Amino acid sequence: MKRFFANLIIISSIILGTGDYSLPQLQTADQSITGKEILKHVRYLASYELKGRETFAEGQYEAARYIAKEFEKYGMKTLIKTQDYYQYFEIECVKVIPPSTFEINGKSYTEREDFRVAAVGGGGIENEVVFIGYGISTEQYDSYADVDVKNKIVMVFQGKIYRKGPVWGLAPFHPMRVLYAINHEASGMIFVEGTAPKDHKWPIPSNWNLGLITLIEPIAQKMGLGSWNDEVWEKWFNFPLVYVNVDVGNELLKNSGRTIQELKDEIDRAGKPHSFAVEQRAKIQTRISHGPKETMNVIGMIEGSDSSLKEEFIVVGAHYDHLGTSEDSGEVYYGADDNASGTAALLEIAQAFAKSKTKTKRSIVFVAFTGEEVGALGSNHYINNPEVPLSKTVAMFNLDMVGRNNPDEIMVLCVGKNKDLLAGINNKASTKVGIDLKELERSYADSSDHSCFYRKGIPVIFYYDGGGDFAHKPADTWDKLSPLKMEKVARLCFLALSDLANRD
């Protein structure tokens, strides 16, 4: 209750323009970093006008223009290739073309009420349905064992066994589960909504980004799932996929005498698949279109002052995209903490370095990444098309959700070579800022945009507030953020950057 009233006072003061929630000045260079200024950026990025900054939507492009204008105001260097701040690239996308139909044994269901179409493949099929639990196929856990799905429609739970069973890695990733089904010669897929943990649920997209699929090709090959060739593309584009609600899921199961909840509880408890033919037939008819769409990272650089060390670089990143607007309810997924908070902190850090009279020895590259929510598209593109040599990139700092939960602590992960050095630099900076550091589990090395850099052997510092049940929901709004926390994290990052950028 005390924290509620404290936050209410902070928010009220900011709205009235009277609050100044700044820490004592740490050093001349970072005095411009204030929670009030960070929140100002957040309020625009997470505004209704930007409609959730969905990748490829106008709100995402508006956010990119805003960030680029800020970089220009700070006097940051533009990219060598384009002479502006945008790193453009195209990704193949799919769009659903309504109407679609879905039937069970001749009974028709209503689109957007009983079922929704995911933008994967289009076509018409009518086949028997086989329940395969979570639809995951690995050496340790195989939903397809001892069940025939050839030319059948597979019925799959959304989500995964939560905090149980083997380490999943990318196995539960949506495209991977579609790929499992295609490789097992299924003809289509039915996902049952309402079976994923509440804080791990995405709104079903009307546009499914196919660039995401090509990113998992090396993983698919490593797992023995084959190469992504023309034949697989053709199968993908002709693979209908729908999401149904729990009531429709239970209708599909009625001949088995089981319910969705009973099966989910049983599979989660046992940690083993429970796959079987449900003795029902379904008919699906969907249509799609596909083609390339353009998006962009926004990149600016502050060049180092040392004649030799300025050819070494530190990348600071934050993704500026989010989930957009619900196709069903029209609700906006504002993404204030995720990740307007990290993007706003990145802007203030960049401005502080740009204003500093003393320049760092090494150069610092600031990247606002696009497409993180649909598969780290921007960071993957950057890694494969770097603006500065990866061999000269000494570290990557990532800010992804830094504005909520306890304002006096932030979760941190330091991984890669020289991780102890990075941790020491970070710990030293935290004592100056007055913020406690909580170590993240090693598994977070595979989350967010920093994972692309880590896999290339670049050391990483990742800042994260821990998230919560507000994540990927319309409730993630700017008024829930802590200006003081965002200021502390931004100053922490600034000081750690300064230390690393000036070391001989």
> Does residue 459 lie within any of the structural domains?
no
Same domain, 272 and 408: no
> Does residue 25 lie within any of the structural domains?
yes
Residue 241's pLDDT band, with cuts at 50, 70 and 90, is very high
What integer pLDDT is reported at residue 13 of this predicted model? 36
Same domain, 487 and 349: yes
Q: Could you tell me the CA-to-CA distances from 97 to 6, 101, 116 in Å, in that order?
A: 49, 12, 12
State the helix-helix crossing angle for 342-355 and 483-502, rounded to 10 degrees: 50
What integer pLDDT is reported at residue 80 of this predicted model? 73
Average confidence score pLDDT of the chain: 86
Please indicate whether residue 121 or residue 100 has the higher confidence score (pLDDT).
Answer: 100
Most confidently modeled range among 369-383, 388-402, 433-447: 388-402
> Does residue 451 lie within any of the structural domains?
no
Which two structure tokens, joined as six digits, stand for 5? 């009233």
Residue 16's pLDDT band, with cuts at 50, 70 and 90, is very low
Q: Could you tell me the CA-to-CA distances from 422 to 99, 413, 414, 428, 498 in Å, in that order?
A: 54, 10, 6, 10, 12
Where among 286, 306, 330 does a domain terminate? 286
Give how many domains the chain has, as a whole number: 2
> Does residue 260 lie within any of the structural domains?
yes
pLDDT at 199 over 80: no
Residue 200's pLDDT band, with cuts at 50, 70 and 90, is very low
Same domain, 211 and 246: yes
Lowest model confidence (mean pLDDT) among 33-42, 64-73, 204-213, 449-458: 204-213
What integer pLDDT is reported at residue 93 of this predicted model? 82
Three-state SS at 144: coil
Same domain, 69 and 211: no
Instruction: Name the helix (H) or strand (E) containing 103.
Output: strand 101-104
What integer pLDDT is reported at residue 193 of this predicted model? 83
Lowest model confidence (mean pLDDT) among 142-151, 187-196, 347-356, 444-453: 187-196
At 207-224, the pLDDT tens digits run 556 665 666 666 666 666
pLDDT at 26 over 80: no
Burial of 389 per CB tally in 10 Å (0-12, 13-18, 19+): exposed
Q: Could you tell me the CA-to-CA distances from 406 to 25, 87, 178, 438, 461 in Å, in that order?
A: 22, 35, 39, 11, 20
How many angstroms separate the CA atoms of 127 and 144, rounded? 17
> Does residue 450 lie within any of the structural domains?
no
What integer pLDDT is reported at residue 34 of this predicted model? 95
Same domain, 103 and 233: yes
Burial of 222 per CB tally in 10 Å (0-12, 13-18, 19+): exposed
Where among 286, 303, 328 does a domain terminate? 286
Same domain, 278 and 303: no
What integer pLDDT is reported at residue 165 of this predicted model? 44
In degrees and rounded to multiples of 5, residue 136 shows phi and psi of -100, 140
Same domain, 237 and 277: yes
pLDDT at 119 over 90: no
Residue 413's pLDDT band, with cuts at 50, 70 and 90, is very high
Residue 92's pLDDT band, with cuts at 50, 70 and 90, is confident
Same domain, 180 and 268: yes
Sheet holding 86-96, edge to edge: 207-209, 86-96, 288-302, 363-369, 313-319, 393-399, 460-464, 409-415, 436-439
Same domain, 413 and 372: yes
How many angstroms separate the CA atoms of 17 and 58, rounded? 30
At 361-370, the pLDDT tens digits run 999 999 999 9
> Does residue 449 lie within any of the structural domains?
no
Give this prediction's pTM.
0.80
Q: Which domain holds residue 253?
A: 98-286
Where among 259, 286, 313 does a domain terminate? 286
Q: What is the CATH number of the domain that holds 282?
A: 3.50.30.30
Same domain, 18 and 102: no
> Does residue 463 lie within any of the structural domains?
no
Three-state SS at 281: strand
Q: What is the mean pLDDT of residues 440-460?
A: 91
233 forms bridges with which residues in the sheet?
A: none
Percent share of the chain, pLDDT over 70: 85
Lowest model confidence (mean pLDDT) among 90-94, 285-289, 488-492: 90-94
Same domain, 244 and 374: no
Same domain, 211 and 344: no
Instruction: Name the helix (H) or strand (E) containing 450.
Output: helix 450-454
pLDDT at 82 over 90: no
> Does residue 38 lie within any of the structural domains?
yes
Q: What is the CATH number of the domain that holds 306?
A: 3.40.630.10
Please indicate whether residue 406 or residue 23 has the higher confidence score (pLDDT).
Answer: 406
Please indicate whether residue 224 or residue 127 has the higher confidence score (pLDDT).
Answer: 127
